[in-house]
Structure 1
Amino acid sequence: MTSVEERPPRALLAGASRRWVRLLPWGVAFVLCVSLLPTTIMVLSTDYGLNGGIASSLAVAQTAPLLLAVVRPLHAWAVIFAADVAGALALLTVDFAAQHVWPYPPTVIVGYVGLCLALGLREPRRTLLLVWLATAGTNIVLAFFAPHGTSGVSPLLTILSGVALVLGGALRERYEAQRRLAEQETISEAERGRRTLLEERARIARELHDVVAHHMSVITVQADTAAYRLEGLPPHVQEEFTSIAATARESLGEMRRLLGVLRNEEAHGELAPQPGLTRIGQLVEATVRAGMPVEFTPCDAEVPEAVGLSAYRIVQESLANVVRHAPGAATRVSVSVSQDGERLTVLVVNGPPPEPPAAPLEEGDTGHGLVGMRERVRLADGTLDVGPLPDGGFRVAAQLPLNGRTFT
């Protein structure tokens, strides 16, 4: 007794997405069984003169397992194959007319070919080859016992069964290839999303380096020059400022080494000063010159550099998405500080485009924009609300805290 229970076998085509396809094997097996069972009994008893009881037993053994073939086609083949051979031997005991074929009546051939098709849909190539070799070998042996001379039934069954096995195997392998391709595409899509997220995080980290490095440089300069700017400092205070300057320099060195890991050779232009709230107006003007009607409500408040950088990037990505997906749409950009001075609100709302674009302005959109927005807002401990509007427009609303928890 094994510790792991064997899973019950799945029916043929059970993984199909459409219900009628999943029910198709059961329907075909039922129709074959219902139609072949009485027909086989009549043919064996009436045409061949076989005893009624024996004919009924053989007919049941040759047709009833077709229902089992939907779930366990190899087991069904073993029963039907043995029953077909037994039926051929049983016909040798009766005197039937020469015009009746031997060793397999037509009903047996139909059932066996349908069974081979089910085998091809489930079993691997090696099993299919062994089944066909067993069929061909048995037909060759039975040909030596033909009561009325050699007939073409055995070669016909050998050929038809081989065709059914090959056809079923080809369909199964094609389905497996499509399934693996779909799984690979799903994995690739998830990997692309993960890579996009990591790239956006690295980009944000590179930009934040410039912001933090500026503050650390100011601390270093102030600590180094404190002894010259402030007269009469006690020795222990001077040592404290010297220690602060040394710590700041060490932190700057660690940050530069970290940036060396994040920055790559293709990241050109990232050494320029990072933009903030004051640059949003220039961004809007450039968009207006490109033919986009944009209404802008500026904000001249003093905010942390990291918050200003995040606000600028959110507006930049939002306007870029408007240009891509809704060219010519009326757009409103608003940047404001809450009355309590704790939050910076960035709002970009566009209406529907005057005329739907015939095709996207850019092919293969990677979705970096929304990913970057979410990452910046998440790191700032803020909130982001994006989504379509009932009139066909789009809304981006971000709130960034100004309470000192930013990018902690």
Structure 2
Amino acid sequence: MNRATVQDQLQELSLSLTRPSPDHRPLLADSPNRWLRALPYALALILVATLLPIDIVVLTGSYGLDGYPATVLSIAQTAPLLLAVRRSLPAWWIITAATAATAAVTLDSTPGAGPWPWPAATLIGYLFLLAALALRERGRTLLAVWLVTLFGTVGAAAAFPQRAGDAPALAVVLGGAMLLLGWSLRGRGEARRRLAEQEQISEEERALRTLLEERARIARELHDVVAHHMSVITVQADSAPYRIGGLPPEAVDEFAGIAAAARSSLAEMRRLLGVLRSEQGGPDKSPQPGVADLGRLVGTVAGAGVRAELSVGPEVDALLPLPAATDLSVYRIVQEALANVVRHAPGTQTRVSLAAEDGTLRVTVVNAAPRPGGARVEGTESTGHGLVGMRERVRLLDGRLDTGPLPEGGFRVAAVLPVTTPGETAP
């Protein structure tokens, strides 16, 4: 290490002592506990109230100072402890200057009068000040503070060895230990805070990813529904002149325009949603499930230990066949609700019911409370991401979704879906 580098580092250390932390909040201000937030003020007040009279008595009785200078020096060495709760570095400057002045005026006192240059009360307050510094300032500033303490104390002891005793070594060692302990606690707190922030960010990212995946899934399924109906429109418009005799030329041209517009819209939709298909390895040729497949779905969860019952009210038959989007959404909502039961409450009694009223379809999935000591299939806490897809599907259909635990235990999922076009032909 060359001389220029050493000079730069020493200059940086000296600048650290003149640049206090911009954070002027009280120590422990981020604590959720009100008593912990008040703890630094309480400790500082107790120390000032205790050390101030002790310091005055020691300086006047043991060190032989007059009452007035002893009182002034004692106030200068203890009162800044209250300032240290918010601005620890300026408080350190004041107490350090007062300690140096006290050492200078007590130099001529009797060697056995008391520890020098650190009276006991002064050292106790100084250690509290170093703890406040360690919880607030940067590591470079703490190093500079300890070096000043080291060189000042050792220099005074070397210049006046007949006056100094064990106090210099004790002050340096305890001061370094206090700075190191406080710096370690601060680093641990910072690490825990950053970890909590990262976990929150990760949880939000997972929720957003789940939401986007569910929306993409809905878009793919809607593509199947819309593509089917657009294909039907195209075929009907193209075949209308052959199926219906005696059409005027204007009607034939109109049907041809409808067929062309339908084909163009279908091609444009396939281009826009092609990327969604490519991510899943190509189009799915299987038909989309619906209300007619709920019986088979309820039967499959029996193999996972869930005793599920399906109840379909007779008024639901009046709404059949449901619109394709509604039919598919009912199936997916029940599917996700049963999957949650299998994951988080296996072995419980579950009831799936469909009812219709005033042109709306109500889908309800209710499961009983989990058995005591029953193990979850996944063994993890619920994140609520399974409900994201339900909300998206219900929002798509302008419906309502109500989910939550029951007073007697268990969980309920209730969706109300409007059926606006009951006569639509299902795909």
TM-score, structure 1 as length reference = 0.90
Q: CA deviation at 1:379?
A: 0.5
How many residue pairs get aligned? The number is 397
2:67 is aligned, of 52, 66, 72, to 52
Structure 2 residue aligned with 1:356: 372
State the SS of the aligned residue for 1:49: coil
2:87 is aligned, of 72, 85, 93, to 72
Matched, 1:236 2:255: no
Q: CA deviation at 1:215?
A: 0.2
Q: CA deviation at 1:295?
A: 2.7
Distance 1:343 1:214 in 2: 24
Matched AA of 2:70: A
- The answer to whether the 8 A contact 1:325-1:357 is kept is no
Matched AA of 1:80: I
1:383 is aligned, of 400, 408, 414, to 400
Structure 2 residue aligned with 1:14: 29
- The answer to whether the 8 A contact 1:332-1:350 is kept is yes
Matched AA of 1:307: T
Distance 1:327 1:269 in 2: 34
- The answer to whether the 8 A contact 2:63-2:106 is kept is yes
Structure 2 residue aligned with 1:318: 337
Distance change (3 Å), C-alpha of 1:89 and 1:383: same
State the SS of the aligned residue for 1:179: helix
1:217 is aligned, of 231, 241, 248, to 231
Q: CA deviation at 1:289?
A: 5.3
Distance change (3 Å), C-alpha of 1:150 and 1:330: closer
The answer for unaligned runs of 5 or more in structure 2 is 1-20
Distance 1:270 1:289 in 2: 26
Matched, 1:328 2:355: no
- The answer to whether the 8 A contact 1:120-1:128 is kept is yes
Distance change (3 Å), C-alpha of 1:268 and 1:287: farther
Matched, 1:394 2:394: no
Q: CA deviation at 1:312?
A: 0.9
Matched, 1:162 2:185: no
Deviations 1:98-157 (A, max 9, x none): 463322222222221221111111111121122122222222432344172553322322
Structure 2 residue aligned with 1:24: 39
- The answer to whether the 8 A contact 1:327-1:357 is kept is no
Structure 2 residue aligned with 1:286: 300
Distance change (3 Å), C-alpha of 1:265 and 1:198: closer
- The answer to whether the 8 A contact 1:121-1:169 is kept is yes
Q: CA deviation at 1:290?
A: 4.8
More displaced stretch, 372-381 vs 265-274: 265-274
State the SS of the aligned residue for 2:115: coil
Distance 1:103 1:331 in 2: 79
Distance 1:308 1:356 in 2: 36
More displaced stretch, 298-307 vs 80-89: 298-307
Structural mapping, 1:143-182, within 5 Å: 143-146=157-160, 148=162, 151-182=165-196
The answer for unaligned runs of 5 or more in structure 1 is 1-5
1:114 is aligned, of 112, 128, 139, to 128
Distance 1:220 1:198 in 2: 32
State the SS of the aligned residue for 1:263: helix
Q: CA deviation at 1:221?
A: 0.8
Distance 2:362 2:345 in 1: 23
Matched, 1:259 2:278: no
Deviations 1:171-197 (A, max 9, x none): 112111211211121122122111111
State the SS of the aligned residue for 2:372: coil
Distance 1:192 1:213 in 2: 31
- The answer to whether the 8 A contact 2:211-2:388 is kept is yes
Matched, 1:200 2:214: yes
Q: CA deviation at 1:269?
A: 8.1
Q: CA deviation at 1:90?
A: 0.6
- The answer to whether the 8 A contact 1:101-1:151 is kept is yes
1:35 is aligned, of 28, 45, 50, to 50
Structure 1 residue aligned with 2:384: 367
- The answer to whether the 8 A contact 1:326-1:357 is kept is no
Q: CA deviation at 1:203?
A: 0.7
Matched, 1:250 2:269: no
Structure 2 residue aligned with 1:302: 321
Distance 2:144 2:257 in 1: 83
Distance change (3 Å), C-alpha of 1:290 and 1:15: closer
RMSD: 2.4
TM-score, structure 2 as length reference = 0.86
Q: Which has the higher contact order (CA 8 A, sep 6+)?
A: 2
